[in-house]
Amino acid sequence: MNGMDLNAFGRVGVLMGGTSSEREISLRSGNAVLNALQSAGVDAVAVDLSSDWADNIRNAAIDRAFNVLHGTLGEDGCVQGMLEVMGVPYTGAGVLASALCMHKQLCKQVLNHAGLKTPVDIPLHADGPLRYPVIVKPVAEGSSVGLHRLTEKRDWDALSIDIEADQWMAEMPVEGVEIAVAVLDGKALPAVEVVPKSGVYDYTSKYTAGATEYFCPARLPAETLRYCMLRAEEAVVATGCSGAPRVDMIVTSGGEPYILEVNTLPGMTETSLLPKSAAAAGIDFETLCLKILVSAATENQGVAHA
């Protein structure tokens, strides 16, 4: 980014790792961001959060945090709150928006209130969902961890999951084209079409080489893409997100997008969906990282408009 004073950032800590089920993905994203920032001339250091997070951050003596954590504690408002108490500006959504988007049920309520469509909820009981086929997934996980498409009762029986404490939810499948729309500084980037060979974009499809095809821009009519990009921007406003969140949706044959989730801290490897979208808009990976870094802030990074 021409004319940028890189010294103004001070020492930047790239927060990565964490203790969630997505630790390895976070490390991959974090190292990609670290290399990009260092290549650009930023004084950036890796901060692998694995034990005492506050000590890890304090000992790194950073002036600003580039958050590349995923999942529990890193993406749900916890580390965001700690950074605010420590007075360290950070990238991504604030405390409230992070907590909201991590809780898929509450996020759906906010999106629906804003006039945005989401998949229909299906009652889930100890002996299984009320109907099939159905999508079953954890209420608060990322990277499609634990997502399952069930077609009959024996599929449920084979899962052997504990649905106590409202930790799981079920939704009616939406048939259509799955796309991801990243929103950078409030403006939607070109949509990426996701075509998993298994038919379900779960954890395996996301992170197994060759398991999924990607098309950017998505193979949809121009007017449909514009509409989806507008809806993604509206979802980001409704949830109070900032930085570069990604809105995942399925577009029906009638051109109507159903929002699956709002991902506040998308993957940042050079082959992740956000960088693909940015590249289609003429923004290389290094520039993308710098643009996100510029957005780092503290104190009320966004309030959900419920």
* Domains in the chain with CATH codes: 6-92 (3.40.50.20), 100-119+173-283 (3.30.470.20), 124-171 (no CATH)
Find all residues with CB under 8 Å of 306, minimum gap 6, and list them.
109, 110, 113
CA distances in angstroms from 174 to 119, 121, 146, 197, 246, listed in the order given: 7, 11, 18, 17, 19
Pairwise CA distance, residues 121 & 104, whole Å:
11
- The position carrying tokens 């993308």 is 288
Kindly indicate the confidence band of residue 151, based on its pLDDT and cuts at 50, 70 and 90: very high
Of 20, 272, 277, 286, which one is the catalytic site residue?
272
The gap between the terminal CA atoms of the chain, to the nearest Å, is: 36
What is the per-residue pLDDT across 72-123, written as a single tens digit (0 to 9) for each?
A: 899 999 999 999 999 999 999 999 999 999 999 999 999 999 999 999 999 9
Mean pLDDT lowest among 109-113, 140-144, 211-215? 140-144
Find all residues with CB under 8 Å of 111, minimum gap 6, and list them.
118, 235, 238, 239, 259, 262
Kindly indicate the confidence band of residue 306, based on its pLDDT and cuts at 50, 70 and 90: very low
> 164 catalytic, yes or no?
no
For residue 141, say whether it is annotated as part of any ligand binding site: no
- The position carrying tokens 């990074």 is 301
Pairwise CA distance, residues 152 & 174, whole Å:
17
For 24, counting Cβ atoms within 10 Å of its Cβ (0-12 exposed, 13-18 middle, 19+ buried), the class is exposed
CA distances in angstroms from 56 to 79, 176, 289, listed in the order given: 12, 44, 22
For residue 263, say whether it is annotated as part of any ligand binding site: yes
> 84 catalytic, yes or no?
no
Q: Are 224 and 149 in contact (CB under 8 A)?
A: no
> 272 catalytic, yes or no?
yes
Of 20, 29, 98, 143, which one is the catalytic site residue?
143
What is the per-residue pLDDT across 58-67, written as a single tens digit (0 to 9) for each?
A: 999 999 999 9
- The helix (H) or strand (E) run that includes residue 125 is strand 124-125
Q: What is the CA radius of gyration of the chain?
A: 19
